[in-house]
A and B are shown apart, each in its own frame.
Chain A
Amino acid sequence: MRTLRFLLEKEFRQIFRNPAILRVIFVVPILQLLLLPWAADYEVRNIKLAVIDHDHSSYTRQMISKITSSGYFLLDQYTNSYKEALVDIEKNRADIILEIPAHFEKDLTRENEAIVLLSIDAINGVKAGLGASYLQSIIHDFNNEVRSKWIQLPRFNPEVNIDIRPSNWYNPLMNYKFFMVPGILVMLVTIVGSFLTCLNIVKEKEVGTIEQINVTPIKKYHFILGKLIPFWFLGIIILSIGLFIAWLLYSIVPVGSLFTIYVFAAVYLLAVLGFGLLISSFASSQQQAMLITFFLFMVFILLGGLYTPIESMPIWAQWFTRFNPVTYFIEVMRLVVLKGSDLSDITRHIITVFGFAIVLNTWAIISYRKRSS
């Protein structure tokens, strides 16, 4: 244990002497939490609309004003032909074309039926899908308004009418930031934790100091613990700074207890740092280590359920997510921060991640060799 004391003393001295590490610990969480939640918003706004109105009636005017007042659409311009509007789409000036045929009003009043055409630029699938459905529901609403004006509905509506009133639990206002911020915190702790550990060891390889360590009678697990413990502390500090910023900027206060978050994070960090240690024993330069960790964590984070729901991934990808520690932390953070889950609700998560920690660290100790073959 005395050996470990000397290792920790040295490691902490180096960390606090390194301005780059201190910057990473403080500046990265602030910047990421300042910027990312605004970018990671799934609501689609500012959809550019081109309208071809062949009817020029009061109804069409009403309908168009209803569309633009919804706040989702920007009326790009009125054009006279579908061809012109298509040019707008090609030039990226419009996302959706709404073509209203001549005699729209006449058809609607006489035939009780009218047709409009929507053409949608589907390059951005999310924008196209959501834009079209917003537009459809607005037109549908407009249709109902028109009908209710014409037809005097009987006191008791003979048609069965199901009125759906959703109630959103745990995030009543459907605020995306409440959903994204806990996930971004996970990303932060994961990336910073694994990068710092991995780069630290590889740097010792590059500089050659690791050889001086390897020629001493030091035990392999002492060396690994000497690296693990300091970066574990850094991870906890980053998490704390992140939680503080989440409260400061977005007033996000975990519904569950902070204690639950820290217990899980403590175990989770062991797994992530073990992963960093493992990579470091295979990489021989800092560039190599950076590229490998960058590539792997890109996959882990995209398949971790931060941006897209895991349930909508194909079955094989869902299988992969079970072996992805990031998935568990994102889930736990959302459960605890939004839903107020406690330790007993996340026991399964803790046990699984602890398993990862054991496997990864054992593997790291085995693959760290003091002697080359």
Chain B
Amino acid sequence: MNEQSIIHVEQLTKRFGDFTAVDAISFEVQRGEIFGFLGANGAGKTTAMRMLCGLSMPTSGKAFVAGFDVYKQTEGLKRNIGYMSQKFSLYEDLTIKENIRFYAGIYGKSDAFIKDKTARLLHQLHLEDQANKLVGSLPPGWKQKLAFSVAVFHEPRIVFLDEPTGGVDPVTRREFWNLIYEAAATGITVFVTTHYMDEAEYCNRVTIMVDGRIEALDTPSALKQTYNASSMNEVFLQLARKAKRNGDEVKTA
């Protein structure tokens, strides 16, 4: 295992019956990287990510996240990661402050830490006036930004983002990526799935998954060179055309 790698995956496989959602993928993610996980719907991105977060049991293969074995050491693993699922999953009937307090609390953060960091975060997001409003009343873009902030509030070593900008307007997406950069600047490794190709350009390295397998893995500029393309979109289309699966076959398990 590489000294610098924070995620180490070897031949990781997930089968549901005779359907192989993730087919023997291997890769390394370096500390502090923004690592993009690209693929069409049903390519196996979410399933792979859920295995790395300890939410889904792998069928075979090896995976270590922050040094923890995903088979046996899930509790240690979970202490060191943040996760933002595709589905918005803060409590809509709690206020912004209450949501932050709850999640920070179950990660074992102290009251002083919570109080101090909440104030800074609200200031940073310009949400001071809204702090006592129910989360359900916020516009979608704000919800996404808040969900991300809650996912990194307990200062994890890695944060997993599953299509974090789905259904969000371009301006908010831009702002969202600024938050990701800020988090990465503090040393948090970012593992993000997306199917927006402009977002792929923001990543340090990207993998492209097709039908459960990794078809390409490199920096965006190297990929464009290899596939002789002017944008990531072209790279993606060249690879995705090979796909035999279609649509949302497997979302969650």
Does A90 interact with chain B (Cβ within 8 Å)? no
Residue of B nearest to A6 (CB): B105
Residues of A with C-beta under 8 A to B27: none
Q: Which of B3-11, B72-80, B181-189 contacts A (4 or more CB under 8 A)?
A: B72-80
Residues of A with C-beta under 8 A to B253: 372
A208 touches B87 (CB 8 A): yes
Interface hits, B48-73 → A, CB 8 Å: 53-57
CA A371 to CA B55, docked complex, whole Å: 4
- Residue in A14, A371, A373 with the greatest tally of chain B CB atoms within 10 Å: A371
CA A142 to CA B207, docked complex, whole Å: 99
A323 to chain B, nearest CB (A): 34
Does A213 interact with chain B (Cβ within 8 Å)? yes
Also in contact, A212 and B89, with CB within 8 A (given A10-B94, A13-B94, A372-B57): yes
Residues of A with C-beta under 8 A to B108: 2-3, 217
A10 touches B78 (CB 8 A): no
Neighbour of A373 across the interface among B57, B81, B106, CB < 8 A: B57
CA A10 to CA B102, docked complex, whole Å: 7
B89 touches A207 (CB 8 A): yes
Residues of A with C-beta under 8 A to B56: 371-372
Sort chain B's interface into a size bin.
20 to 34
A216 touches B106 (CB 8 A): yes
CA A7 to CA B102, docked complex, whole Å: 7
Does A257 interact with chain B (Cβ within 8 Å)? no
Residue of B nearest to A215 (CB): B83
Neighbour of A217 across the interface among B92, B101, B107, CB < 8 A: B107
B102 touches A6 (CB 8 A): yes
Does A351 interact with chain B (Cβ within 8 Å)? no
B106 touches A215 (CB 8 A): no
Also in contact, A215 and B105, with CB within 8 A (given A208-B87, A209-B89, A209-B91): no
Sort chain A's interface into a size bin.
20 to 34
- Residue in A9, A207, A217, A370 with the greatest tally of chain B CB atoms within 10 Å: A217
A219 to chain B, nearest CB (A): 8
A9 touches B102 (CB 8 A): yes
A212 touches B83 (CB 8 A): yes
Residues of B with C-beta under 8 A to A208: 85, 87-89
Q: Mark A202-224, 1 if CB is under 8 A from B, else 0.
A: 00000111011111111000000
B94 touches A3 (CB 8 A): no
Residue of A nearest to B54 (CB): A371
Residues of B with C-beta under 8 A to A144: none
Does B93 interact with chain A (Cβ within 8 Å)? yes
Does B98 interact with chain A (Cβ within 8 Å)? yes
B93 touches A3 (CB 8 A): no
CA A139 to CA B165, docked complex, whole Å: 85
CA A223 to CA B184, docked complex, whole Å: 31
Interface hits, A213-244 → B, CB 8 Å: 213-218
Q: Mark B217-253, 1 if CB is under 8 A from A, else 0.
A: 0000000000000000000000000000000000001
Residues of B with C-beta under 8 A to A312: none
A10 touches B98 (CB 8 A): yes
Does B90 interact with chain A (Cβ within 8 Å)? yes
B57 touches A371 (CB 8 A): yes
Residue of A nearest to B53 (CB): A215
Neighbour of A213 across the interface among B76, B93, B98, B106, CB < 8 A: B106
Does A17 interact with chain B (Cβ within 8 Å)? yes
Residues of A with C-beta under 8 A to B105: 2-3, 5-6, 9
CA A13 to CA B90, docked complex, whole Å: 14
B79 touches A217 (CB 8 A): yes
Does A18 interact with chain B (Cβ within 8 Å)? yes
Does B103 interact with chain A (Cβ within 8 Å)? yes
Residues of A with C-beta under 8 A to B102: 6, 9-10
CA A6 to CA B88, docked complex, whole Å: 21
- Residue in A215, A218, A370, A371 with the greatest tally of chain B CB atoms within 10 Å: A215
CA A371 to CA B73, docked complex, whole Å: 12
B89 touches A211 (CB 8 A): yes
B55 touches A6 (CB 8 A): no
CA A66 to CA B78, docked complex, whole Å: 82
Q: Mark B170-185, 1 if CB is under 8 A from A, else 0.
A: 0000000000000000
B105 to chain A, nearest CB (A): 3
CA A297 to CA B87, docked complex, whole Å: 33
A10 touches B79 (CB 8 A): no
Q: Mark A1-33, 1 if CB is under 8 A from B, else 0.
A: 011011101100110011000000000000000
A3 touches B106 (CB 8 A): yes
The 4 closest A-B pairs by CB, nearest first: A6-B105, A208-B87, A212-B89, A215-B83
Given contacts A211-B85, A371-B56, 10 further A-B contacts (CB under 8 A): A6-B102, A13-B94, A207-B87, A208-B85, A215-B53, A217-B76, A217-B79, A370-B55, A372-B56, A372-B57
* Chain A residues at the B interface, C-beta cutoff of 8 Å: 2-3, 5-7, 9-10, 13-14, 17-18, 207-209, 211-218, 370-373
Q: List 6 A-B contacts (CB under 8 A).
A: A5-B105, A10-B102, A209-B91, A216-B78, A217-B107, A217-B108
